[in-house]
Copies of this chain bind each other. A is one copy, B any other.
Amino acid sequence: MSDHRGGPVRSEAARIAILDATARLFAARGYDHLTMEGIAAEAGVAKQTIYRWWPSKGALVSECLLAGRLMPERLVPPSTGDLRTDLVEWFTEIFSVMQRPDGEGLVLSLIAAATENVEIGKRLYESLGAASSLTERLQSAIGDGQLRVDAPLEEIGEALIGALLLRALSRNPSDLESVTRLIDALIRP
């Protein structure tokens, strides 16, 4: 098996090394300072190896984003059975991540990258908005009778995430009381 050079096993290892390197460098330096050369060096592969799969750094960052590799932690909302408690808890956790310099920098870097690159913008929207773990959590709240059956789940998710992005841009995201008022406005039955 060790002569399986260039085959799927080896390819997959290289792909993962490249994605890991992209995520590390993105978190450390931001989108603007990311280069294909730097990623290749960090991953220990040739630059052509990267171009075999990804045409640009934007495409690479998009794939990292879609795979959940760029978020500071896997931020999945808790699911204790009480929606309001879970959302407040979830935002408390997000705020604590965003109050760390690396957390805030990463979120701002992601937003900046999304303004520059259409694909990253679309991925950011998908991973935070419409198809997110937040939407799933809201969906299960309908089953628990805590949201109306016709509640607009995607839109509620977008409103919460959008408000969070706006707060991140103001560098003052951490007003939990305010977010609790927003949650109450959005999820009251």
**Given A151-B185, A185-B151, A186-B186; A114-B159 close (CB under 8 Å):** no
Residues facing B in A99-129 (CB within 8 A) are: 108-109, 111-112, 114-116, 118, 121-122, 124-126, 128-129
| A32, chain B: closest CB distance, angstroms | 9
| Residues from chain B with Cβ under 8 Å of A160 in the complex | 159
Asked whether any CB of chain B lies closer than 8 Å to the CB of A158, the reply is: yes
Nearest opposing residue in chain B for A105, CB measure:
B115
Asked whether any CB of chain B lies closer than 8 Å to the CB of A181, the reply is: yes
Chain B CB within 10 Å — which of A125, A154, A155, A161 has the most?
A: A155
Interface size on A, residues (CB 8 A): 41
**Contact: B125 with A166, CB < 8 Å?**
yes
**Given A108-B115, A109-B115; A159-B170 close (CB under 8 Å):** no
| A84, chain B: closest CB distance, angstroms | 14
| A62, chain B: closest CB distance, angstroms | 12
**Given A115-B111, A178-B154; A159-B169 close (CB under 8 Å):** no
**Contact: B165 with A166, CB < 8 Å?**
yes
**Contact: A165 with B167, CB < 8 Å?**
no
**Contact: A152 with B181, CB < 8 Å?**
yes
Can you name 22 A-B residue pairings with CB atoms under 8 Å? A109-B115, A111-B169, A115-B169, A121-B169, A124-B169, A124-B170, A125-B166, A125-B169, A126-B170, A129-B166, A152-B182, A155-B163, A155-B181, A155-B182, A155-B185, A156-B185, A159-B160, A159-B182, A159-B186, A161-B166, A162-B166, A186-B186
A residues bordering B, Cβ < 8 Å?
108-109, 111-112, 114-116, 118, 121-122, 124-126, 128-129, 151-152, 154-156, 158-167, 169-172, 178-179, 181-182, 184-186
